[in-house]
Structure 1
Amino acid sequence: MVYEDYQLIRVEAHGGICRATIDNPPINLLDVPLLTEIDRLLGEVAADDEVRVLIVDSADAEVFIAHADISLIENLPPDDVGLRDELSLFHAITERVRTLPKATIAVIDGVCRGGGCELVMAFDMRYAALGTTVLGHPEVSVGIIPGGGGTQRLPRMVGRGRALEVILGGMDVDAATAEAWGYIDRALPADTLRRYVDRLAAHIASSPLAAIAAAKRAVDTALDERIDMTTGLLIEDQLLRETVARPATRKLLQAIVSAGAQTREFELGSK
């Protein structure tokens, strides 16, 4: 698939990896035009059978995404405060990220606050640069709350107390602290961050797409509070059998055995 006509994202795809670099100067504001392009990108990546991994990073070494455009909040009608039965545009996009049947990786280098944090929290994996990355939620200080999923995803990642420290305190969280809390998966020096992610993405992209999608579904089952352990194990078993039933999987299994898998020489040679 050819990814064309993007104005605010630089997109390139090869080797099973789609890299989308946000380039919306001066501060990579998460505004309607950028959200629209992200939404279109997600649809195209989902439809691209060649892509197994989506990486999103920034063209600005100091800013990943400053925050969401304030006009997205200001334009909300003051007489519409009831509980809705449909997701907002922002929520719908973050859910598209979370449920994309491909692996998704956010590479954060620089400032990432508010809606930027809410977007990356929907990704499967988050990696950030030490010394430059700051995450934060300043919304409460201006009389609102995080409204792009921050109050729902952050507590699941870091716990209630730490989430409230970030949200109520309006504090910036550096990359090292974010890693310790589980806000991101790894904090790495800026000069090694992308190399690490590229190696990881290449390894994931070498795997069958069906196995990647099934693994994501199985892991998400474990995080669904409505599903008990026994039910989760049954779903895992079903997903395993679905992958094993694929002829391509059986060929891969036969190939690995023929290559010497399950021999001492093979297993120790992989160290």
Structure 2
Amino acid sequence: MTANKSNKLLHLTIENGVANITLDNAPVNALCGSLIKALKQLLGELSYNKDVKVIVFDSANPDFFIAHVDINILEEQGILEELAKAAPEGLNIFQAVGEMLREQPQVTIVKLKGIARGGGAEFVAAADMCFAAAEKGKLAQCEALMGIIPGGGATQYLSSRMTRSRALEIILGAGLFDAATAERYGWINRALPDNEIDLFVNQLAQRIAALPEGVMAAVKKVLAPAKNVEGFKAENDGWATLAFTPRTAEIMKKVMANGAQTVAGELRLEELLRNIV
């Protein structure tokens, strides 16, 4: 079975039981409300497709997988209200993105060739697996530099993948981690040379898709991700306490004025934020 489907934010191809979703929200793949809505709709459709066993996510942008949540996301008020109404009880709209991924019946794999920060890094951690290009694959939870804490599941996902001390380093240090370090910490599965990652991920996805019927579903059921309702609530409460303060608004305004959400600015975002702070 082969299929193709595209809109202005997502491109879908399906072949031999593997769906490939390419994110394409220029200039830096910011996680805006429209992109969240498009992902929700597409993943919902795929959840009913019994022929699809694996979903691979990549990016049309060679520098960014998902830069972070769109700093201007509050301008999409109608979409945010729609997403909030549809979010599972006890989850904010950003946590709902990660949980949507974790509850997807197919195996989800991120092929990380560029930068994933903030909500983008949370997306990576929510997927079943992630393989990153050693040369350009990078991850960061840089929210602390914006005067907030992660609010899309990072505190829960990181604490299940690594030691508490490493999660604290990632969140409070707010640095950009290379793929090799992320692999060593348990943040991703493997760091692979850029010229090998496509073949490796494609072969892995095809092998999973070709397994006898029922095997993949049974394994996902047996190895279901833990969900700490209290942990998600505590994360949201901590994020909400900081997210709407005048100080945070000032930081967001200044970082936008200094190049955030442009390619040049996002390549050195941590430096921009530290200069502001």
TM-score (norm 2): 0.74
Once the two structures are superposed, residues 207-258 of structure 1 have per-residue CA deviations (whole angstroms, 9 ceiling, x without a partner) of 145221110111127x579xxxxxxxxxxxxxxxxxxxxxxxxxxxxxxxxx
Q: Counterpart of 1:122 in structure 2: which amino acid?
A: A
Runs of 4 or more, structure 1, over 6 Å off, are 73-77
Selected match of 1:122 from 116, 122, 126: 126
Contact 2:29 2:66 in 1 (8 A): yes
Q: d(CA) in 1 for partners of 2:106 and 2:6?
A: 23
Q: Contact 2:143–2:174 (CA<8 Å) still a contact in 1?
A: yes
Q: Displacement of 1:14 after TM fit?
A: 1.1
For residue 96 of structure 1, what is the aligned residue in structure 2?
Answer: 100
Distance in 1 (CA, whole Å) between partners of 2:204 and 2:62 is 21
Taking structure 1 as reference, are residues 41 and 209 closer, same or farther at Cα in structure 2, changes over 3 Å only? Answer: farther
Q: CA deviation at 1:134?
A: 1.3
**Aligned equivalents of 1:15, 1:164: Cα separation in 2:** 41
Q: Is residue 70 of structure 2 the alignment partner of residue 105 of structure 1?
A: no
Over the matched positions of the two proteins, sequence identity in percent amounts to 40
Contiguous gaps of at least 5 residues in structure 1: 78-83, 226-271
Q: Could you list the per-position Cα deviations for residues 117-161 of structure 1 after superposition, in whole angstroms to 9, with x for gaps in the alignment? A: 001111111000002111001111121110000111112112110
Distance 1:93 1:6 in 2: 19
Does the CA contact (< 8 Å) of 1:52 and 1:209 recur in 2?
Answer: no
Q: Provide the aligned length of Structure 1 versus Structure 2.
A: 219
- Residues of 1 paired with 2:207 and 2:8: CA distance? 30
1:33 alignment partner, SS class: helix
Q: 1:117 to 1:209 in 2, by over 3 A?
A: farther
Query: 1:73 Cα deviation (Å)?
Result: 6.6
Q: Distance in 2 between matches of 1:92 and 1:147?
A: 10
Pick 1 or 2: higher relative contact order, CA cutoff 8 A, min separation 6.
2
Give 1:194's match in structure 2, choosing from 187, 194, 198. 198
CA gap 1:85/1:41 in 2 versus in 1, 3 angstroms: closer
Q: Distance in 1 between matches of 2:128 and 2:39?
A: 16
Contact 1:176 1:187 in 2 (8 A): yes
1:24 is paired with a residue whose SS is coil
Q: Aligned equivalents of 2:128 and 2:51: distance in 1?
A: 19
Distance 1:23 1:85 in 2: 30
* Correspondence for 2:234: none
What pairs with 1:1-271 in structure 2 (closer than 5 Å)? 4=5, 6-72=7-73, 85-220=89-224
Highest Rg: 1 or 2? 1
